[in-house]
Amino acid sequence: MEQLLHYCWKHKIFPLHQLTTTDGKEIEVLNPGLHNTDAGPDFLDAKIKIDGVVWVGNVEIHMRTSDWFRHHHENNPAYQNIILHVVCEADDELRYPNGKAIPQLQMNIPDYIRRNYNQLLRGDVTPACARIVNNLSRLQIHSWLSALQVERMEMRAQQITERRQQLEGNWEDTFFVTIARSFGFGKNGDAFEHWAQSIPMSAVGKHKDNLLQVEAIFFGQAGLLETPLEGNEYYTRLRNEYRYLKHKFGFSPINPAEWKFLRLRPQNFPHIRIAQLAMMYYQQRLNLSRILNAQRVEDIMQLFDTHVSEYWKTHYTFDSPSTLPREKHLSNASRQSLIINAVAPILFCYGRYKANEALAEKGITLLEQIPAENNFIIRNWTEAGIRPENAADTQALIQLYRNYCTRRDCLRCRFGYEYIRHTPQFLREEQ
């Protein structure tokens, strides 16, 4: 509940008049200060008038005064410039090292604030704030979604940065691994990333003009060429090529048990996705510079308009032929997913790395050119009253759901703020 007391102080959800210290001095809160997320006092650079005298300094918040001693603040120099101690229960006195009393404000959390907050924490509806979403202005919704879009991009950029560090700073390798992870389309994402990181791209580059050898390396590193398969000429050629290249370059394949097939449509089997990646690499479509130079989302969609080699037109795995030949192109939805989950974050991250804000902004602009995604998270928000216009909006709503709603972190959410601050009469009207 101390978090809620922090929240009330930060947003000035308390009577603006008739505030007094525990010893009867009148208080006026001019500025509650900046919420400190690091060690030290809870709010920095607050501005408060006590008995007509303006004080500027830090504010500490606890449920009870005695928590000050329980946390050993009396021995910490960081707390010697506190100008106000805010508590729900003043059960003790505080003093500066010189013996002078530290001002204390006993501030109660309004009952309706507690009730609204508890409703959000215990609600069985997703999102828990659905009752008030329809009453939010377009500006409120748009500004929060815009902030969430950047937050999601920054989160993904951090993941890409960590990946690049693992790959010794090589941006082309980072791009390949990021694209490969997205080819897992969720279920096989981890396996595809592990697979891609196991492939020395400098070695593949020496054989980039030979599709069979590229496929041999890709399938071999996936652990899919480990056992003989009698009567399959294509498989045998791949296996022989891989055994030679494995010895030449010292390859080490991943465990084939990492691949998941359960509840996957054959079109999404790892074999097909690897065959598509091999063809894209052979056709020099997996090239970061081509992505950086692409001006429109249609240009990138065209780069991902790949197919498979002849064998895979009639197979889904090495030992499961399909009844009719199919080109096995990536669908429009799959290509859009690759742009959303790989290309846009790469552009954003690379732009930040190069201090090129136009390139970073291009990552978000791409999302604005792609239709809104359709999944259970987005459908829940749509039912609540938010109708996303494009993939930038849906990515923001996914960020909101996964990083706020599922964690019940409503105190950091702008929609949660609107729910918590509304009076009981307003919420009854919404029922």
Span 94-104, pLDDT tens digits: 999 899 999 99
Per-residue pLDDT tens digits for 176-217? 999 999 999 999 999 999 999 999 999 999 999 999 999 999
Cα dihedral 199, 165, 283, 372 sign:
positive
Count of alpha carbons within 13 Å of 29, Cβ hemisphere only? 27
Contact 88, 105 (CB under 8 A): no
Q: Indicate if the pLDDT at residue 426 is higher than 70.
A: no
Q: Which helix (H) or strand (E) holds 12?
A: none
Q: Is the pTM of this model over 0.95?
A: no
pLDDT of residue 423: 60
Residues 142, 143, 149, CA angle at the centre, nearest 5°? 85
pLDDT of residue 107: 92
Q: How large is the average pLDDT for residues 35-54?
A: 94
Provide the b/e sequence for 100-122 (b: ≥16 CB within 10 Å): eebbbbbbebeebbeebbebbee
pLDDT of residue 269: 96
* Three-state secondary-structure class, residue 53: strand
Between CA 284 and CA 57 the distance in angstroms is 60
Q: How large is the average pLDDT for residues 341-354?
A: 97
* Three-state secondary-structure class, residue 106: strand
Q: How large is the average pLDDT for residues 333-351?
A: 97
Q: Indicate if the pLDDT at residue 295 is higher than 90.
A: no
pLDDT of residue 68: 95
Q: Indicate if the pLDDT at residue 430 is higher than 60.
A: no
Q: Indicate if the pLDDT at residue 411 is higher than 80.
A: yes
Average per-residue pLDDT in the chain? 93
Nearby residues of 269 by Cβ (< 8 Å), 6 or more positions away: 261, 316, 317
The label of the residue with tokens 């056709």 reads 283
Decide which of 270 and 128 is more confident: 270
Q: Which helix (H) or strand (E) holds 222?
A: none
Q: How large is the average pLDDT for residues 34-45?
A: 93
Between CA 309 and CA 238 the distance in angstroms is 13
Between CA 17 and CA 7 the distance in angstroms is 19
Decide which of 123 and 427 is more confident: 123
